[in-house]
């Protein structure tokens, strides 16, 4: 009996050992399994991201952009087959541009914003569809767009893309990708850009005149315009945080300094010391040229320096900052917002609460939320599939290029 039990025990041990051996996998098998898992997770992540973006874009399209057809074709790495090097071309060209113009990031952010806010991200802001008719106004001529920067830089990127893949990558995708890369180069957060946008065949002057938020808008108007594009109060506050970087022409703030809303007095919401700093920075700048290209000092630098300002043109401008941190929100808490529309974020209880949240840490919360909102912004009302066209030159419809 004892021998039988001993034999059974040995058999069970052998069976156990064999089962353990059979369960073991060679390194190559483990690597293959892990690779399959990663690919599955990446596929699920991409699918989920596309779903979120399409939901956002479709919702906005229904409220703002009058398109009858469904949204099709926006996807991760859209050009992987017909122009696989597209994104690397944009990235490398943008890096060269940034080395020469390290303030271009805000220019591209503003260009993308103005394009996407009017009928969606379709590069309509580039387009001259007047056919030589001087009586027809185009979107680029609308007052809010006269100070835009970055159009020439996108033309440069588009030329590089067309040298490699003629007529494949749209101007709308060129702008969306270049803006993301410019944000990263300026120290901002990375965010995914899904591609497949096509270009509009017309521009929208009247809409640009009426629907782009203005520097002197009050909080009610600002929230209304953003809400029409599907942005809530929190998203509005963090998108305006793009004013962390860039330069603002004195022409946009002069009325706050001397004759706010026709009162003959400065804007009472401006911190007194900051008011004097702005007056000093903008003195002698009464030009009607709104080029906004002049270097000046940040509010931080003005507090710590008595150096003379450097004027490089006819219209002075005030840099709002050089880093993607949260100093914009800290300035608002202290009444030091450059634009009236910026400082108005403190005039509403809900938006003021988000300002305080973004000002309270090292900028991590702002950067996280900003990247999410930029994904949503860059997907507004996109044209995909058979809608629109791919322009050869961003300023002209394909038939005229």
Q: What is the pLDDT of residues 112-163, one digit of tens each?
A: 999 999 999 999 999 998 888 888 899 999 999 998 999 999 999 999 999 9
In this prediction, residue 373 has a pLDDT band, given cuts at 50, 70 and 90, of: very high
Sign of CA dihedral 27, 33, 39, 44: negative
Residues 340, 88: Cα–Cα separation, whole Å: 39
Residue 320 scores a pLDDT above 70: no
Q: If you average pLDDT over residues 385-395, what whole number do you get? A: 94
Q: Which of 54, 66, 53, 107 is CA-nearest to residue 202?
A: 66
- Which position has the token pair 């835009």? 148
Task: Please list, in sequence order, all residues whose beta carbon lies within 8 angstroms of the beta carbon of residue 10, skipping any fewer than 6 positions away.
Answer: none
Q: Does the annotation flag 181 for ligand binding?
A: no
When pLDDT is cut at 50, 70 and 90, the band that residue 360 belongs to is very high
Percent of the chain clearing pLDDT 90 (strictly above): 55
Higher pLDDT, 279 or 6: 279
Active site residues: 114
Q: Is 122 annotated as a binding residue?
A: yes
Against a cut of 0.85, is the pTM above it?
A: no
Could you identify the residue written with the tokens 């303030």? 103
Token digits of residue 295: 């270097």
Q: Is 120 annotated as a binding residue?
A: yes
Given this model, what pLDDT does residue 235 score?
98
Provide the 3-class DSSP secondary structure of residue 127: coil
Instruction: Say what the pLDDT of residue 144 is.
Output: 93
Contact between residue 251 and residue 212 where contact means Cβ atoms under 8 Å apart = no
**Per-residue pLDDT at 133:** 84
Q: Which whole number is the average pLDDT over 196-202?
A: 96
Of 252, 194, 220, the C-alpha closest to 56 is 194
Q: Residue 398: pLDDT band by 50, 70, 90 thresholds? A: confident
The CA distance from 348 to 345, in Å, is: 6
Q: Is the pLDDT of residue 8 over 60?
A: no
More confident residue, 30 or 236: 236
204-252: per-residue pLDDT in tens? 999 999 999 999 999 999 999 999 999 999 999 999 999 887 777 888 8
Check whether 88 is labelled as a binding-site residue.
no
338: which residues sit within 8 A by CB, 6+ positions away?
Answer: 243, 248, 253, 278, 299, 318, 320
pLDDT at res. 112: 98
User: How confident is the prediction for the chain on average, in pLDDT?
Assistant: 79
With H, G, I as helix, E, B as strand and everything else as coil, classify residue 232: coil
Judge whether 87 is annotated as a binding position.
no
Q: Is the pLDDT of residue 315 over 90?
A: no
Q: Does 155 appear as a known binding residue?
A: no
Q: In 10 A of CB 218, how many CB atoms?
A: 14
Q: Tell whether the torsion through CA atoms of 228, 367, 359 and 256 is positive or negative.
A: negative
Separation CA 112–CA 121 (nearest Å): 7
């Amino acid at each position: 009996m004892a021998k039988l039990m001993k034999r059974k025990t040995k058999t069970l041990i052998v069976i156990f050992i064999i089962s353990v051996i059979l369960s073991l996998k060679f390194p190559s098998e483990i690597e293959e399994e892990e690779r399959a898992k990663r690919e599955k997770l990446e596929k699920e992540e991409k699918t989920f991201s596309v779903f979120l973006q399409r939901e956002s874009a479709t919702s906005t399209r229904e409220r703002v952009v009058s398109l009858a057809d469904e949204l099709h074709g926006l996807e991760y790495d859209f050009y992987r087959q017909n122009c696989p090097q597209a994104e690397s071309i944009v990235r490398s060209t943008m890096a060269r541009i940034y080395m020469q113009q390290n303030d271009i990031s805000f220019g591209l952010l503003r260009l993308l914003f103005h394009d996407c806010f009017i009928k969606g991200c379709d590069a309509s802001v580039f387009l001259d569809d007047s056919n030589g008719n001087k009586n027809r106004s185009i979107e680029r001529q609308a007052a809010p767009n006269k100070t835009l920067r970055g159009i020439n830089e996108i033309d440069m990127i588009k030329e590089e893309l067309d040298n490699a893949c003629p007529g494949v990558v749209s101007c709308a995708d060129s702008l969306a990708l270049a803006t993301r890369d410019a944000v990263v180069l300026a120290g901002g957060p990375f965010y995914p850009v899904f591609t497949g946008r096509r270009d509009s065949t017309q521009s929208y002057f009247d809409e640009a005149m009426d629907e782009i938020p203005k520097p002197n808008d009050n909080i009610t108007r600002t929230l209304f315009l953003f809400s029409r594009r599907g942005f809530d109060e929190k998203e509005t506050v963090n998108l305006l945080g793009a004013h962390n970087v860039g330069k603002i022409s004195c022409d946009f703030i002069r009325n706050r300094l001397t004759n706010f809303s026709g009162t003959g007095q400065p804007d009472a919401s401006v911190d007194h010391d900051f008011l004097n700093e702005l007056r000093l920075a903008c003195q002698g700048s009464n030009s009607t040229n709104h080029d906004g290209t002049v270097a000046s000092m940040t509010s931080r630098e003005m507090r710590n320096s008595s150096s003379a300002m450097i004027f490089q043109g006819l219209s002075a401008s005030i840099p709002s900052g050089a880093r993607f941190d949260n100093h914009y929100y800290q300035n608002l808490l202290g009444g030091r917002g450059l634009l009236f529309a910026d400082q108005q974020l403190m005039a509403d209880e809900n938006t003021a609460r988000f300002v305080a949240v973004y000002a309270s840490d090292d900028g991590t919360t702002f950067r996280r939320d900003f990247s999410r909102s930029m994904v949503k912004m860059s997907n507004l009302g996109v044209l995909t599939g058979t809608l629109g066209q791919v322009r050869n030159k961003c300023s002209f419809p394909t038939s005229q290029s």
